[in-house]
Homo-oligomer: A and B are copies of this chain.
Amino acid sequence: MREAATPRTRGRARPGRLRRGERMVVMAHRLLSHPYQLFSLSTFMELLGAAKSTISEDLGFLRQAFDRFQLGKVETLAGAAGGVRYLPQMSRDQIRALVEELCRRLRDTARVLPGGFLQTTDLISTPHFAAGMGQTFATLLGEPRPDVVLTMEVKGIPVALETARAFNVPMVTIRREGRITEGPSVSVNYVSGSSRMVQTMTLPLRAIPPGAKVVFIDDFLRGGGTARGVFDLVREFRAELVGIGVLIETAVPKEKMADRYLSLIVYEGVNEHGEVLVYPSRHV
């Protein structure tokens, strides 16, 4: 919180005799809670009452600790417009460990509902899993950094919010119907890939600025009809869909109505022994 953070130090500027460890912890906290935001060295000089050379040295050790323990990337940009910023990147090992843990939990047969549906809401809504999924999508989708993270109500929202948090950009939720509390809106029809039914998705007119780069995050992809509809919707805003991330895709149908999406987990169904067939996707 850029604005709300100010009073934290009001009346306590230039604290003087801070130790290096204390300075490093304060900088780490600031960087971690503002991913992608560039901080000039003078911000930290003022906040911590330290010389530029001291702050530079502190940041060197900070970067070293982040690298060594794989806590994400601390980037130093040189020059007049330079500074330091934090990108919450996960390592391949960390991503793989998270996805395997999710698969392990999804194999619980108590999750299988009539029709072969898989109950996943509890995992998506557990903050540390949601945060891990969000950081995973931010890592794998990476460049270009989007201006907006888009999702479809309701289940995808926690993962989308955490992806937006990792990118430090707003999240926007597509509704299945227009709401009077949202103002003027744009709607498109789409064909749900699984049910073949025509449905409507709606987004407030002000939600996406023209030319914006958009990432779409959802919990589940079966036929890809929703993703296809999102593509059409984003085009109506003259914005650009630069990435699609889904937590789980189904193995069937093999041909999806969307391409260039990224999934973490593949769900194949339930076999004759009642086992839930889920495994990490080719993207992780």
Q: In the assembly, what is the distance between CA of A181 and CA of B222, in Å?
A: 14
- B154 close to A175 (CB less than 8 A): yes
Which among B18, B97, B127 is the interface contact of A6 at CB below 8 angstroms?
B97
Contacts of A96 in B (CB 8 A): 7
- A21-B24, A94-B4 given as contacts; is B154 within 8 A of A113 (CB)? no
Query: By the criterion CB–CB under 8 Å, are B10 and A93 in contact?
Result: yes
- The complex places the Cα of A187 from the Cα of B124 at a distance, in Å, of 22
Within 8 A of B (CB), among A52-84: 58, 61-62, 64-66, 68-71
Binary B-proximity of A204-217 (CB < 8 A = 1, otherwise 0): 10110000000000
A 143-161 contacts with B by CB, 8 A = 153-154, 157-158, 161
* Residue A198 CB within 8 A of the other chain: no
Name the residue on B nearest A120 (C-beta).
B181
Counted per complex, copies of this chain come to: 2
Interchain CB contact (< 8 A) of A94 among B7, B58, B206: B7
Asked if A229 is at the interface (CB within 8 A of a chain B CB), the reply is: no
Are A125 and B19 in contact, with the CB atoms below 8 A? Answer: no
Q: How far is the CA of A115 from the CA of B181 in the complex (A)?
A: 9
Binds B, one of A163-171, A232-240, A251-259, A271-279: A163-171
Please measure, in the bound complex, the distance between the C-alpha atom of A130 and the C-alpha atom of B206, giving whole angstroms: 19
- The complex places the Cα of A211 from the Cα of B23 at a distance, in Å, of 44
List chain B residues, Cβ under 8 A from A3. Answer: 97-98, 101
Which of A1, A119, A168 has the most B CB atoms < 10 Å from its CB?
A: A1
User: Are B4 and A121 in contact (CB-based, < 8 A)?
Assistant: no
Give the chain B neighbours of A113 by CB distance below 8 A: 180-183
Question: How far is it, in angstroms, between the C-alpha of A64 and the C-alpha of B29 when the chains are bound?
Answer: 14
- Chain B positions within 8 Å of A157 at CB level: 154, 157-158, 161
Contact across chains for B65 and A180 when beta carbons are under 8 A apart: no
Give A244 to B118 CA distance when docked, in angstroms: 31
Taking the complex as formed, is A25 at the interface, i.e. its CB lies under 8 A from any CB of chain B?
yes
Most B CB atoms within 10 A — which of A32, A126, A169? A126
Residues in A77-125 with C-beta less than 8 Å from chain B = 91, 93-94, 96-98, 101, 113-115, 117-122, 125
Q: List 23 A-B contacts (CB under 8 A).
A: A1-B131, A1-B132, A3-B97, A10-B93, A21-B24, A24-B25, A25-B71, A34-B128, A113-B180, A113-B181, A115-B180, A118-B181, A119-B181, A119-B183, A121-B173, A121-B181, A125-B172, A127-B164, A127-B168, A128-B168, A130-B165, A158-B161, A161-B162
Binding site for B on A (CB under 8 A): 1-10, 12, 15, 18-26, 28-29, 32-34, 58, 61-62, 64-66, 68-71, 91, 93-94, 96-98, 101, 113-115, 117-122, 125-132, 153-154, 157-158, 161-162, 164-165, 168-173, 175, 180-183, 204, 206-207
